[in-house]
Chain A
């Protein structure tokens, strides 16, 4: 909860619109090193996925056994795997699976979780208690367990992975939303809005949502990163993305059988995951500083 004194001393622009004006934001963003690095890495991930939709050096599933386990060369930038498939092309196209799972898993968690969090905060009492206990409960099911159960029944696949990771994201967003919304509900301008006759849903929509938007954007960025790791783990285990769609996790699984002959095959996909996750995490941390100067000062 924000104390009344803290609310009065708060940055006025944050109180009024929640997000600083865009030109101001761009200037500060360029000077923020971790945001700049994170944004560049995240952009590279996005570019790789978009580029791979229209072009990749080879078709990622093209088998070329005579050229198997090649080293780095001009023809194959990262070499080839045990079936002669081009690693660079698989890495590029693999970005699609990461982004696909990340976007949809975050959307599931964001839409359901934030709605529940807003409801809990607006209604209070038993509603709040119920939503929070539900969140506690869902935390007992890590994404992997949901994926195991769903995979056992519906068979493994991209959708199984998205749903499992999405379910795990729901309580994460519910908690963050409720905590941030409760802080807004304690502000004087909410009191003023109430006195002016707005009901709790109007207040939620006009005052709470704009003010917690930046906290949710930051959380969404971090959950995106978590989803990429989870997707890779599920695909490594064979529960996520299925062939022929390339995925970084499954590349690692296949590389593990060739570790003595071609150890680098087990290195590249991991590096891709680390760079993508690092980029999103740095961008999230940077966004937190840039969107909410108060939070940054408290750290």
Chain B
């Protein structure tokens, strides 16, 4: 187990390292001149040189990369040129919207997706199964940002139960509160979750059906266990292994979905931050946000790998 964990951790660290090199290369080396990008086409050579010096671009790329990664490891980040604040401060503020949103969406995805998938599998080829699968086929085809717009149309424009977007903040000083904040994130979370839940439901259904055909399930039934007991005690635990893989992948989609849906609901999260940064040509912010989002995906996949070993004791390090 410890060898397995160590091996996985090494892969995890290596992935992050390669990701940092790639993000740095794409944003810092490829375009030729970041100062030119920031100042636009009309900038004079003198102002470009001054900007390059201000950004530290006159130093070798390797030094700048080491500076960036070394700083990150020590919890130090570069100064955003448009906000004049360290990117870590900006990101920390915005994460207070994005993280709860992603978590709420993940919980909803799990609740809806697993329940629908198990329900459909238990009623294979009957009306319940067919309708759940039909709905999920439709759910997969719906872009989450359009579903978000439809939710706004229904609940904000037609019924006028909620405002069409914006975030009041988590504290009363900001003019909001825990409940107000939760309500503001509810529709965005539903918009994100419905689409992912449709995907999860299909995978859960086929994983459960696959497991139901195993010999040990027949044995359990033969020794007198009820269908329900077999489903809960034997099938679900085994069916969860492929489902976990999908969940890890879904998290990546959820993260990028969050970026889009935040823009639909005008939520001050990471997604809005990165788009404002693109508009302001604030590449330092883009770089740090992209690396953070990649890191989140990598961390979740690392956790999924570890969970495999917990769920399935048969899993040997060599299989992983």
Contact = CB atoms under 8 A, between A and B. Distances in A.
Given A140-B297, A140-B298, A142-B255, A299 B206 contact: yes
Contact of A140 (B137, B206, B252): B252
Per DSSP, are chain A's interface residues mostly helix, strand or loop, or mixed? Answer: helix
Contacts of B138: 274, 278
Contacts of A141: 19, 294
Given A148-B290, A259-B164, A260-B157, A273 B146 contact: yes
Interface string B37-73: 1000000000000000000000000000000000000
A274 B157 contact: no
A151 to B, nearest CB: 6
Contacts of B229: none
B298 A148 contact: no
A145 B19 contact: no
Interface in B271-314: 274-275, 277-278, 281, 283, 286, 290, 293-294, 297-298, 301
Interface stretch (A16-24, A78-86, A225-233): A225-233
Contacts of B141: 225, 273-275, 277-278, 281
Nearest to A255: B149
Interface residues of B, number: 48
A126 interface: no
B71 to A, nearest CB: 20
A45 B258 CA distance: 29
Nearest to B143: A229
A23 to B, nearest CB: 29
B145 A233 contact: yes
A104 interface: no
Contacts of B31: 153-154
A140 B27 contact: no
B153 A145 contact: no
B97 interface: no
A259 B152 contact: yes
Interface size range on A against B: 35 or more
Interface stretch (A47-55, A131-139, A179-187, A197-205): A131-139
B23 interface: yes
Given A152-B278, A229-B143, A259-B157, A237 B256 contact: no
Interface string A243-286: 00000000010011001100100110110011101100110000
Interface string B243-271: 00000010011011001100110000000
Contacts of A10: none
A149 interface: yes
Contacts of B146: 232, 252, 269-270, 273-274
Given A145-B294, A270-B146, A140 B26 contact: no
Contacts of B27: 149, 152-153
Contacts of B253: 142
Interface in B138-168: 138, 140-143, 145-146, 149-150, 152-153, 157-158, 164
Contacts of B26: 149-150, 153
A143 interface: yes
Nearest to A34: B137
Interface of A: 133, 136-137, 139-145, 148-154, 225, 229, 232-233, 236-238, 252, 255-256, 259-260, 263, 266-267, 269-270, 273-275, 277-278, 281-282, 299
The 5 closest A-B pairs by CB, nearest first: A270-B146, A144-B256, A142-B256, A278-B141, A277-B141
